Amino acid sequence: MLENKNQDKTDLESLGEFGLIDHLTKHFPLNQKSTIKGIGDDAAVLDFKDKKTVVSTDLLVEGVHFDLSYMPLKHLGYKAVMVNLSDIYAMNAKATQITVSLAVSNRFPLEALEELYAGIALATKIYNVDLVGGDTTSSQTGLIISITAIGEAIAEDIVYRSGAKENDLLVVTGDLGGAYMGLQVLEREKEVYKVNPNSQPDLEPYSYIVERQLKPEARKDIFELFKKLEAHPTAMIDISDGLSSEILHLCKNSKVGCNLYEEKIPLDPTVISACEEFKIDSTLVALSGGEDYELLFTLDQKEFPKIKGNPNLTVVGHMTADNEGAHLVSRNNSKIPLTAQGWNSFAKT
Amino acid sequence: MLENKNQDKTDLESLGEFGLIDHLTKHFPLNQKSTIKGIGDDAAVLDFKDKKTVVSTDLLVEGVHFDLSYMPLKHLGYKAVMVNLSDIYAMNAKATQITVSLAVSNRFPLEALEELYAGIALATKIYNVDLVGGDTTSSQTGLIISITAIGEAIAEDIVYRSGAKENDLLVVTGDLGGAYMGLQVLEREKEVYKVNPNSQPDLEPYSYIVERQLKPEARKDIFELFKKLEAHPTAMIDISDGLSSEILHLCKNSKVGCNLYEEKIPLDPTVISACEEFKIDSTLVALSGGEDYELLFTLDQKEFPKIKGNPNLTVVGHMTADNEGAHLVSRNNSKIPLTAQGWNSFAKT
């Protein structure tokens, strides 16, 4: 589909490297006060005055992190930005700028990259971040996207992974497992399509979980909610690899243990029905699925009244002494040690 | 050579993503005052107080930017850092932090990545920058390195590409064309090796130019020299794609023209003799060769006494009115329009 056989499509080489960057980025406005100079020099220039700067970077590789047979390029651009902004929000900071670098093979025409950048542009607009730099080069095979996100915060607002204390509440935003189940649906439809290219998939019943996979949203609203509620998380991380893996990161960095209650894990009804259809345990999906980009944080019990009843937040457990370890307390009240079954990008498939 | 057939080598998958990052980065000290938190959270935290932050990013792709058949991994790691720091110094800023992301296929054992990181570590030590973040993932084919460099400067010190004025002097640091000629030597030796794997190449006569290709140095010293001389460049860019391409960037961004004098272009004797041996015009090599990572800047003529006689700096021309265009004034005094013959990473080869 993306092969450059169409005579109406524009070869990347006809633009050259500088022409390509100019072309793809010319419609990105700069809105952040802290952006002094964006794209077009050796480096961007930013001004954070007396605030701290936070920086995060992620690399997305075709065939490892995304499959273009069901991931539209516009969604991919949007999601690539979300993956990075999510890390900034997980520091309880405001995302302000991104840089985007691409390695792309000649099989992509210019119009494909324009689609990708349309998704990046939409994300920068909705999340109010400036695109301030990047690099574009050729690759011998697929598409690789490298994004660095930059944000700002005052020192006392920044939340690390290391601040959780014994007895703190463990809280998760939104619901879990949707992105993973959306992927299962898309992969099944891909197999059906291989057998019968004329089949018309009906994704309507799965729209929520498919959207969770294809167009996730980073939780910018939680950063704003904390400000409004005057809540101060003690530790925080974003859920990119699955709840289990992220809990273990918090425990390791904060030197605490954890009890996670299976019955408390927030699951959308669509996730539960998809799990039944695919005969997968929904708890396992929430623990190991990943890519939901929700936030996981700990909170002093004294602050519970601030978050009580908030539909965005679910208390799923509490932190314990380090030597008690990290456990899932199952519905039948047995304690199962949590293991990092988060997705391992080096595993042989 | 790098295929993972050796039983003594460590599979990447045995470490997993988190284990790999931890393993590769555990010996990187943090020395910059502005580094509050490095690797190990969702984002790094930096503190630039009342200074401006500069950010630059580059992507290096195996088979496009480097060839591992003659590029040792340690040198590659070192060079990847240099490419980015060079952009920071080209803003007349102090480089302070880097992030490093890798996509790497399973054909690389852990020991290969350790070599790569040994080069990165050496670069961070010599140039005094902190490694503060990154991402490591698998790739289906080769090695891809994405580096973002961050630096700081006070606002009035920052030099953009856009500040050159008519009659400003055009100045280049060091000498040009060495990296390109080093590449010619290495590619010739690779062909010889293919025919006769027992051949022992004698690279001794080419050591300067081979080092320019394999282990370039970013011009941190120039940033320090400007401070010492109290010199204030009006515009600056680093020479990554060749002198001609960079001059055109300065002209376009500053809306000026330029006369570049062929006889003034600084060439090392080794470059001249290699050009004779390879029957390539040395001026063309300097104009289009690239990868020297020298700096090109413009300076008000009044400041000439400050740089006069400095062995690091060569005046190669002067800026003219925009409508006069950008020209090379040849040794026989004819004017030849400069064209961007810098390396085009999208050109079919």
Chains A & B: contacts with CB separation below 8 Å = 228
User: Is a pLDDT exceeding 60 seen at residue B294?
Assistant: yes
* A43–B135 CB contact, under 8 Å: no
Dihedral (Cα; B133, B139, B143, B148), 10-degree rounding: -30
**CB-closest option in A50, A91, A132 to B55:** A132
A111 has pLDDT over 70 = yes
A132: closest CA of chain B, how far (Å): 8
Q: Name the percent of chain A lying above pLDDT 90.
A: 69
Query: Least CB-CB distance to B101: which of A59, A236, A348?
Result: A59
Determine whether the interchain pair B55/A138 forms a contact, defined as Cβ–Cβ distance below 8 Å: no
Q: Is B93 within 8 Å of A160 when comparing Cβ atoms?
A: no
CATH topology of domain A12-157: 60s Ribosomal Protein L30; Chain: A; (3.30.1330)
Dihedral in degrees, nearest 10, Cα atoms A150, A153, A155, A158: -80
| CB spacing of A61 vs B37 below 8 angstroms | no
Of the pLDDT bands very low, low, confident and very high (cuts 50, 70, 90), residue B17 is: low
Cross-chain residue pair B64–A139, CB shorter than 8 Å: yes
pLDDT at A16: 66
Q: Which of A37, A134, A137 sits opposite B160 (nearest CB)?
A: A37
| pLDDT for residue A137 is more than 90 | no
- The Cβ of residue B183 has, within 10 Å, a number of other Cβ atoms equal to 21
Residue A343, pLDDT score: 42
Q: Residue B31: its pLDDT value, please?
A: 86
Q: Cβ contact (<8 Å) for B160 and A101?
A: no
Eight-state DSSP code of residue B99: E
pLDDT in tens, A242-285: 999 999 999 999 999 999 999 999 999 999 999 999 999 999 99
Q: Is B148 annotated as a binding residue?
A: no
- List the binding residues of A for Mg(2+): 42, 56-58, 87, 135, 238, 241
Question: Would the pLDDT of B348 be above 70?
Answer: no
**Is B161 close to A41, i.e. CB distance below 8 A?**
yes
Q: Of A159-168, A292-301, B9-18, which range is least confident?
A: B9-18
Confidence at A3, pLDDT banded by 50, 70, 90: very low
Among partner residues B65, B86, B134, which is closest to A57 by beta-carbon distance?
B134
Q: What is the mean pLDDT of residues B167-182?
A: 98
**Distance to chain B for A204, nearest Cα, Å:** 33
Q: Do A43 and B87 touch (CB under 8 A)?
A: yes
Residue positions of A in the annotated binding site for substrate? 65, 291, 343
B contact test, residue of A11, A41, A84 with most B CBs within 10 A: A41
Average pLDDT, chain A: 90
CB-CB neighbors (< 8 A) of B349 in chain A: none
> pLDDT digits over A18-71, tens only?
677 778 887 788 888 888 888 888 888 888 888 899 999 999 999 889 999 889
Residue B168 is labelled as binding a ligand: no
Does B298 belong to an annotated binding site? Answer: no
Q: How many residues does chain B have?
A: 349
pLDDT band at B134; cut points 50, 70, 90: confident
Tens digits of residue pLDDT in B20-52: 777 888 778 888 888 888 888 888 888 888 889
Which of helix, strand or coil describes residue B229? Answer: helix
**Taking a C-beta distance cutoff of 8 angstroms, is the pair A109, A6 a contact?**
yes
Count of CB atoms situated within 10 Å of the CB of A47? 18
Nearest chain A residue to B146 by CA distance is: A146
Q: Which of A133-137, A324-328, B275-279, B325-329 has the lowest mean pLDDT?
A: A133-137
Q: Which homologous superfamily does the CATH classification assign to the domain defined by A169-337?
A: PurM-like C-terminal domain (3.90.650.10)
* Across A189-198, average pLDDT: 87
pLDDT for res A62: 92
Residue spans per domain, chain B:
12-157, 169-337
CB contact under 8 A, B56 and A87: no
The ipTM (two decimal places) reads 0.88
- Binding region of A: 42, 56-58, 65, 87, 117, 134-135, 161, 238, 240-241, 291, 343
pLDDT in the model for residue A18: 60
Closest residue to A56, CB basis, from B43, B62, B106:
B43
Q: How far apart are CA B112 and CA B110, in angstroms?
A: 5
SS (H, E, C) chain A: CCCCCCCCCCCHHHCHHHHHHHHHHCCCCCCCCCEEECCCCCCEEEECCCCEEEEEEEEEEECCCECCCCCCHHHHHHHHHHHHHHHHHCCCCEEEEEEEEEEECCCCCHHHHHHHHHHHHHHHHHCCCEEEEEEEEECCCCCEEEEEEEEEECHHHCCCCCCCCCCCEEEEECCCCHHHHHHHHHHHHHHHHHHCCCCCCCCHHHHHHHHHHHCCCCCHHHHHHHHHHCCCCCEEEEECCCHHHHHHHHHHHHCCEEEEEHHHCCCCHHHHHHHHHHCCCHHHHHHHCCCCCEEEEEECHHHHHHHCCCCCEEEEEEEECHHHCEEEECCCCCEEECCCCCCCCCCCC
List chain A residues with CB under 8 Å of B101. Answer: 57-59, 146
B133–A56 C-beta distance less than 8 A? yes
List C-alpha distances in Å: B177 to B210, B285, B345: 11, 5, 18
Contact B99 A148 (CB under 8 A): yes
Which of B41, B99, B248 is the mutation pick for testing A, counting most A CBs within 10 A? B41
Cα A94 to Cα A124: distance, rounded to the nearest angstrom: 13
Interface test with A, best of B105, B237, B346 (most A CBs within 10 A): B346
Contact residues on chain B for A141, CB-CB shorter than 8 A: 140-141
Calculate helix-pair angle for A269-278, A207-214, nearest 10 degrees.
100
Percent of chain A past pLDDT 70, that is, above it, reads 94
Between residues A5 and A202, the one the model is more confident about:
A202
Hey, are the CB atoms on B20 and A346 less than 8 Å from each other? yes
B180: closest CA of chain A, how far (Å): 19
**pLDDT grade for A344, boundaries at 50, 70 and 90:** very low
- Rounded to an integer, the average pLDDT of B281-290 is 94
Structure tokens belonging to residue A237:
């991380």
Confidence tier at B7 by pLDDT (50, 70, 90): low
pLDDT of residue B142: 86
B161 is in an annotated binding site: yes
Q: Which two tokens stand for residue A247?
A: 């809990």
User: Does the structure show a pLDDT above 80 at A12?
Assistant: no
pLDDT digits (tens, 9 = 90+) for A300-333: 999 999 999 999 999 999 999 999 999 999 999 9
- Gap between the Cα atoms of B87 and B240, Å rounded: 9
- Closest chain A C-alpha to B284 CA, distance in angstroms: 20
Chain-chain contact of A140 with B12 (C-beta, under 8 angstroms) = no
